Amino acid sequence: MSLLSVRNLTVGFGDQDVVRRVSFDLAEGQVLGLVGESGSGKSITALSVMQLLPPEARMEGAVELERRDLNHLSERTMCDVRGRDIGMIFQEPMTALNPLKTIGDQVAETLVIHGVARGARALARARFALDRVGLPEERFPLSRYPHELSGGQRQRVAIAMAVALKPKLLIADEPTTALDVTTQAQILSLLQDLVRKEGLALMLITHDLAVVSQVADQVAVMKDGQIVEAGRTESLFRRRHHPYTRRLFDAASYVPPRTPLRLGPPLLEVRGVVREYRLPRKGLIGAGGSLRAVDQVNLTVGQGESVGLVGESGCGKSTLSRAILGLEPLQGGQINLAGRKLPEPRKVPGSLRRKMQVVFQDPFGSFNPRHKVRRLVSEPFYLLRGAHGDTGTLVAEALRAVGLKPAVMDRYIHEFSGGQRQRIAIARALITRPELIVLDEAVSALDVSIRAQILDLLTELRQEFGLAYLFISHDLGVVRAITDRVYVMKAGCIVEDGPTHRVLSAPRDAYTKELIGATPRIPDAWAEEAAG
């Protein structure tokens, strides 16, 4: 008998339906993976089960929990169901907790609200719940505040709150998307452990097929508000019946075709670079300490070479990339570009700056919303003062190179999708005819199908213009797809480097091994069958 049964669920805003006739079942002790790209309706489906949709949404169909239709419960009764029968955790652990209350109080609140326990007894049970999710008393007393915890630890607190009353169903909406891979692995195994030992049913919403392949018993693939394919995980992964499922899988593991390039002499040389930040002073007189974000780093990128730089958040890879771009002063070492030493940030000459450009992660924050594409793309022209050539022609050329029509130059940036914006960002980087492009998590915010297209584009451009890439990412899959060599960074230091296929298949450093071990992968055997 299924615990949760969703029948013909349709959710709409205004006259547009964002979830259409969705049906699925979930039994006790089972994990259902709901997979799809952004806008596929998977989060809305989860919120419908919780009855937490915004008031302007309209909902039809049935959501039955143990044969009780939640759609027909009063808001008051539904409050009793939430937290007691269904728990839910969300994507962003940094903002999911109230910053002003202790973690003990926040976990205990679940018990207090449902009248299960109060005062010291509620706190004792909160303690138990926190122990259960791997936050032991010695290091995580109840009196801790959220800002004293890391993202992974906060996600554990959120899980403790959701499971404190041992609900029958837990809904997890992209619970590990904002976390590093090693933390992701820990949170996923915690969730699996809860399912196995407490008989909880888990509805896991994610965009990541590899995560689903490791955790879920059942999978439902969503597209444009509909479930296009559903079934047991292994058989669905092996069969890939629906064309969209197939496309999704191909895009996720996409490796652009490459012809080997002849590599030139070193273009970028980073030698013993140190970047320290002064920490804020304590009080008015106390001297502040300093934080070494980049510590004695050596790194080389040859002409026309594609080099990866991987590491988890806070390891210093973004600081290093800013130093390479001539935006951060160094406290030691030096950076050479095309044989010339990079001076301090204010003194970098335009002739040197134009040799390197950058593409950022966020396709929304990368552009001044007040300017048209023509002006956005031509901004680096500033470096080519006195250069010949008409702006319009050069912008048009750059736009054509990234697969956009020149006519788009008279539009504003908000008229474009995320993938198109990333193309425009690449056009902006191309306009000075640079030799090196720093790609800072440049495809991380994109859906897999768009990501595959951008990876293709990057590969083509590299062949066409002989570009070198420094590809900074936390995603080993993407690094594997597009780089020749890779550096692994941890706590400001490079711990390992070498040819990408060697480092990723036979890592030598303990941290690299941990990183690779933690990265979820679809079992190779499942993929073979589909290919054959």
Partner 1 sequence: MVRFVLGRLLSLSLSLVVASLVIFAVIEVIPGDPAAFMLGLNAEPDTVAALRAELGLDGSPVQRYLAWVTGMLQGDFGTSYTYRVPVSELVAARLWVSLPLTLYALILSTVIAIPLGLIAAARSGRPADFGIMAGTQLGIAIPNFWFAMLLVLVFAIHLQWFSAGGFPEWDEGVWPAMKALTLPAIALALPQASILARVMRSGLLENVGQDYIRTARAKGLSRRQAIVRHALRNALIPVMTIIGLQFSFLLAGAIIIENVFFLPGLGRLIFQGITQRDLVVVESVVMLLVFSVILVTFLVDLAYAAIDPRLRRRA
Partner 2 sequence: MSGAVGKMRLGGVISLIFIGAALLSFFWTPYGVEALSVADRMRTPDLAHPLGTDHFGRDILSMLMVGARTSIAVALVAVGIGMVIGVPLGLLASAYRGSFLDDLIMRGNDLVFAFPSLVIAILITAVFGPSAFNAILAIGIFNIPVFARVTRGGALAIWTLDYVMAARVAGKRGWRIAIEHILPGIANLLIVQGTIQFSLGILAEAALSYVGLGAQPPTPSWGRMLADSQTMISLAPHMAIFPGLAIVFMVLGLNLFGDGLRDYLDPRKGQLA
CA distance 441 to 315: 14
Neighbours of 326 (CB within 10 A): 20
Answer for which of 17, 28, 64, 109 binds partner 1 (CB under 8 A) is 109
Question: Which of 140, 244, 249, 360 lies at the binding interface for partner 2 (CB under 8 A)?
Answer: 360
Strands 16-26 and 4-13, sheet pairing: antiparallel
DSSP single-letter state for residue 381: G
Q: Tell me which of partner 1, partner 2, none is bound by residue 145, counting a contact when its beta carbon lies within the kind-specific cut-off of 5 to 8 angstroms.
A: partner 1
- DSSP for 408-462 reads GGGSBGGGS-HHHHHHHHHHHHHTT--SEEEEESTTTTS-HHHHHHHHHHHHHHH
Amino acid making up residue 233: T
- Exactly one of 95, 143, 313, 368 binds partner 2 (CB under 8 A); that residue is 368
Q: In the numeric block, which tokens belong to residue 509? A: 């450093």
**Residue 282, binding choice from partner 1, partner 2, none, Cβ under 5 to 8 Å by partner class:** partner 1
Rounded distance, CA 512 to CA 505, Å? 10
Among the listed residues 469, 489, 486, the one whose alpha carbon sits nearest the alpha carbon of residue 477: 486
**Bridge partners of residue 78, in order along the sequence:** none
- Asked if residues 477 and 519 have their Cβ atoms less than 8 Å apart, the reply is yes
95: phi then psi, degrees, rounded to nearest 5: -115, 0
State in angstroms the smallest separation of the CB of 43 from partner 1.
Answer: 11
- The one among 28, 92, 224, 362 contacting partner 2 by CB under 8 A: 362
* Using rule CB under 8 A, residue 319 touches partner 2: no
Check binding of 161 to partner 1 (CB under 8 A). Answer: yes
Write b or e for each residue in 403-412: b if 16 or more Cβ atoms lie within 10 A of its Cβ, otherwise e: ebebebbeee
- Is 163 among the residues that bind partner 1 (CB under 8 A)? no
Which of 67, 139, 370, 388 is close enough to bind partner 2 by CB under 8 A? 370
For 451-493, the DSSP string reads HHHHHHHHHHHHHHHT-EEEEEES-HHHHHHH-SEEEEEETTE
Which of residues 168, 354, 462, 474 is near partner 2 by CB under 8 A? Answer: 354
The partner in contact with residue 368, picked from partner 1, partner 2, none with C-beta cut-offs of 5 to 8 angstroms by kind, is partner 2
CB atoms within 10 A of CB 184: 21
Q: Which does 405 bind (CB under 5 to 8 A by kind): partner 2, partner 1, none?
A: none
- What is the Cα–Cα distance from 83 to 165, expressed in whole angstroms? 7
Q: Pick the closer one to partner 2 by CB: 82 or 317.
A: 317
Taking the least distance from each CB to partner 1, the nearer of 50 and 376 is 50
- Judged by beta carbon distances under 5 to 8 A according to partner kind, the member of partner 2, partner 1, none in contact with residue 465 is none
Residues 6 or more apart whose Cβ sits within 8 Å of residue 523: 213
Q: Are 34 and 94 in contact (CB under 8 A)?
A: no
CA 136: distance to chain centroid? 28
Q: Dihedrals φ, ψ of 268, to 5°?
A: -120, 125
Footprint of partner 1 on residues 284-313 (CB under 8 A)?
A: 284-285
The size of the interface with partner 1 (CB under 8 A), counted in residues, is 35
Residue 372 phi/psi, 5° resolution?
-85, 165
- Of 97 and 478, nearer to partner 1 (C-beta) is 97
Number of residues engaging partner 2 in binding (CB under 8 A): 28
**Binds partner 2 (CB under 8 A): choice among 67, 76, 346, 388:** 346
Q: Of 36-95, which residues contact partner 1 (CB under 8 A)?
A: 50, 52, 75-76, 79-84, 87-90, 92, 95
Partner from partner 2, partner 1, none binding residue 357, C-beta < 5-8 Å depending on class: partner 2
Residue 354, classed as helix, strand or coil, is coil
Angle at 25 between CA 23 and CA 30, to 5 degrees: 145
Binding partner of residue 421 among partner 1, partner 2, none, CB cut-off 5 to 8 Å per kind = none
Task: Copy the structure tokens of residue 50.
Answer: 């919780």
Among 58, 68, 72, 101, binds partner 1 (CB under 8 A): 101
Q: How far is the CB of 203 from partner 1 (least distance, A)?
A: 13
Q: Closest approach of Cβ 398 to partner 1, in Å?
A: 39
Rg, Å, the chain Cα set: 25
Select 227 or 467, whichever has its Cβ closest to partner 2.
Answer: 467
Residue 522: which of partner 1, partner 2, none does it interact with, CB under 5 to 8 A by kind?
none
C-alpha dihedral sign at 20, 25, 29, 35 = negative
Partner from partner 1, partner 2, none binding residue 87, C-beta < 5-8 Å depending on class: partner 1
Binding residues for partner 2 (CB under 8 A): 280, 322, 325-327, 346, 348, 350, 353-354, 356-358, 360-362, 365-368, 370, 379-383, 425, 428
Binding footprint of partner 1 on the chain (CB under 8 A): 50, 52, 75-76, 79-84, 87-90, 92, 95-101, 109-110, 113-114, 145, 147, 158, 161-162, 282-285
